[in-house]
Amino acid sequence: MDKDFRTGMSELTIVPNRSSMAARGVSIESVGQILAAAVGGITQGRYTSDGRRYDVRFKTKRRQH
């Protein structure tokens, strides 16, 4: 899945079942974080080495989608 908009690209629309999520104590924020990790990864920190700054990112494995 490509998270950048491009004309003609297919889209995936996700409509959460909010009442079901609420019954299980799942927040929209947590769903958004999981989707962000699955699609593009999430920056969890930064470190500097040899004068360069690096992002520490994590992303879900393809089989976890």
Q: Which domains, and CATH codes, for the chain?
A: 18-64 (3.30.2090.10)
DSSP code, position 41: -
Token digits for 45? 């920190």
Contact 18, 28 (CB under 8 A): yes
**pLDDT attached to residue 6:** 73
**pLDDT attached to residue 49:** 93
- Cα dist. 35→41, 43, 44, 47, 50 in Å? 9, 14, 15, 25, 33
What are the contacts of 3-12 at 24+ separation with CB within 8 A? 3/39, 3/40
Higher-confidence residue of 1 and 36: namely 36
Q: Which tens digit of pLDDT belongs to each residue from 19-62?
A: 999 999 999 999 988 888 887 788 889 999 999 999 888 777 76
**pLDDT attached to residue 48:** 94
Mean pLDDT, to the nearest integer, of 1-11?
Answer: 67
